Amino acid sequence: MWDTFYHLVFYPLFLLAMRGASLWSPKIRSALMGRSDWRGPVSAIPSTPSDIVRIHFHATSVGEFEQAVPFIEALRNDEQPYRITVSFFSPSGFELRKNYPLVDGVCYLPHDRQSDMNEFMNRLSPDVVIIIRYDLWPEFVRQTQLRGIPAVLVCGVMRHDSVRFFPLVRSFFAALYSRLAFIASIESEDRDAFKKIAPEVPVFSLGDTRYDRVLTRLASGDAVQELEVLHSIAGQRTILIAGSTWSEDERMLVQTSLPDKLFLILVPHEPTPSHISGLLDKFPRSQTLSYLIEHRVEQLPNVVIVDRLGILAELYQMGDVAWVGGGFGAGVHSVLEPAAYGLPILCGPKIHRSRDAVSLEEEGVVKTVENQQTLQEYLGRLIDDRTYRRELSHKAEVFVKERAGATERILDELRSRAILPDYQRVISQSEEHHVNR
């Protein structure tokens, strides 16, 4: 029943709404074009011998892809080769990661119609499909089931009060999740919710690979070339990295009056030319990062506005304090990256949708700010009291390290269920057989 309703009613209406919204949104327009023009990138994926396991990852955007990276890195370190491909829903994810060197191909996920998905699966011919976090498309998942291809959800999240439990809607999602071969949830709360909606699917709480990802980044010490320029401009001032900011965050930060002590690096969530121009007008003594890279300046700015994507995580490594945006809107963005670098974190009050933010607030690492006075006073303390700042830094680092290890736990579970091949076990058994001959 749900398959018919989805294809005849829901998805056509969804596409119609998206096409209407694309008239005003370049991002949605790009997404629709990418999902229509998926064949070119798929055709560029190299063919592989039939004995090589073909693993396909699907992620909504860049954030979810970062959760897939630890799996990809671990698989590439395996003794056996794999063909690894990735699909995205979001144009930002595709554009930023289309040349990622550790995979054999990157593409958009096609429109979720029977004809498109059937052709997509025939061309890609994966042995395993791994979906990150939540982006399950019904026809995509149905095609895996029709072909006997195990589809698994990893780093899955589902709250007990999710709309997926609402009457009638619950039946739709129960049918969708029941087609999965395995679910690796992040926390026990997620596991219990998944078990209620799809009791026949094996579900285990195995953690979040984001912790592994940020620790790997931290250990690698990779740096972007801009850091050297920014360090030279900052001098001895305390560096505040304001990441993924929206207009409400920026209104709060523009009133911060500690110019001699504070150096602000502002990374807006959407660095469009018009938005960057507006920020230059709002923030006194500000300049864009691209201008500073290309020109020498006589007067050092107090504020640098980052007008490019993809370097926020690297910028956190040079900070002393972080502001994470979104806390005055739908909800604060990820606080994990600044925590991994040991930064005390400030944000707006809306943190309830982020478990990390709630837990880190309990540890004292996250401080929610609702007005200018609180921001001014707390920033002043962080600037002047380095001992206090070091205490918070240690708490943040411990928080992240204690939650690492999800990648290996999930891979071990997938291998034990024969969803992924356990080459090491095969090698061990072969060696044992050889000794016993």
Q: Residue 353: CB partners within 8 Å, gap ≥ 6?
A: 330, 331, 332
What DSSP state is assigned to residue 97? Answer: H
Residues in the chain: 437
For residues 353 and 122, what is the distance between their CA atoms, to the nearest angstrom? 38
* Statement: residue 434 has pLDDT above 50: no
For residues 193 and 153, what is the distance between their CA atoms, to the nearest angstrom? 14
6 touches 139 (CB < 8 A): yes
Taking only the tens place, the pLDDT of each residue in 369-411 is 999 899 999 999 999 999 999 999 999 999 999 999 999 999 9
For residues 142 and 3, what is the distance between their CA atoms, to the nearest angstrom? 9
Cα–Cα distances in Å, from 410 out to 152, 186, 202, 348, 388?
Answer: 11, 10, 13, 34, 37
Token output for 415:
């291998």
Taking only the tens place, the pLDDT of each residue in 148-163 is 999 999 999 998 888 8
Q: Name the pLDDT band for 223 (thresholds 50, 70, 90).
A: low
3-class state of residue 397 by DSSP: helix
Cα–Cα distances in Å, from 131 out to 51, 98, 144, 155?
Answer: 23, 18, 12, 9
DSSP for 346-361, please give it: EE-S--TT-HHHHHHH
Mean model confidence pLDDT for the chain: 90
| Of 200-204, 291-295, 405-409, the least confident | 291-295
* Statement: residue 300 has pLDDT above 90: no
| Of 6-20, 209-223, 341-355, the least confident | 209-223
Q: Is 98 exposed, middle or buried (0-12, 13-18, 19+ CB in 10 A)?
A: middle
391 touches 399 (CB < 8 A): no
The per-residue pLDDT for 259 is 61
304 touches 240 (CB < 8 A): no
Taking only the tens place, the pLDDT of each residue in 330-366 is 899 999 999 999 999 999 999 998 999 999 999 999 9
Higher pLDDT, 50 or 239: 239
Q: Name the pLDDT band for 313 (thresholds 50, 70, 90).
A: confident
CA-only gyration radius of the chain, Å: 23
Q: Is 189 exposed, middle or buried (0-12, 13-18, 19+ CB in 10 A)?
A: middle
391 strand-pairing partners? none
186 touches 379 (CB < 8 A): no
The per-residue pLDDT for 433 is 40
Helix count (H) and strand count (E) of the chain? 22, 14
The per-residue pLDDT for 183 is 98
Token output for 362:
């309990």
* Statement: residue 413 has pLDDT above 50: yes
Q: What are phi and psi of 106, to 5 degrees?
A: -130, 135
Over residues 115-135, the mean pLDDT reads 95
What percent of the chain lies above the pLDDT cut of 90?
Answer: 70
Residue with tokens 């502002």: 266
For residues 287 and 301, what is the distance between their CA atoms, to the nearest angstrom? 6
Higher pLDDT, 10 or 57: 57
- Crossing angle of the two packed helices 355-363 and 386-402, in degrees rounded to 10: 140
Q: Return the closest-CA partner of residue 269 out of 249, 251, 284, 289.
A: 249
Amino acid at the residue 7: H
Q: Name the pLDDT band for 107 (thresholds 50, 70, 90).
A: very high
For residues 187 and 224, what is the distance between their CA atoms, to the nearest angstrom? 34
Cβ count near 309 (within 10 Å): 14
129 touches 149 (CB < 8 A): yes
Taking only the tens place, the pLDDT of each residue in 224-271 is 677 888 988 888 899 999 999 999 999 999 987 666 789 999 999 989
The per-residue pLDDT for 437 is 44
The per-residue pLDDT for 261 is 86
What percent of the chain lies above the pLDDT cut of 70?
Answer: 95
Q: Which domains does the chain have, with CATH numbers?
A: 2-209+405-430 (3.40.50.11720), 224-402 (3.40.50.2000)
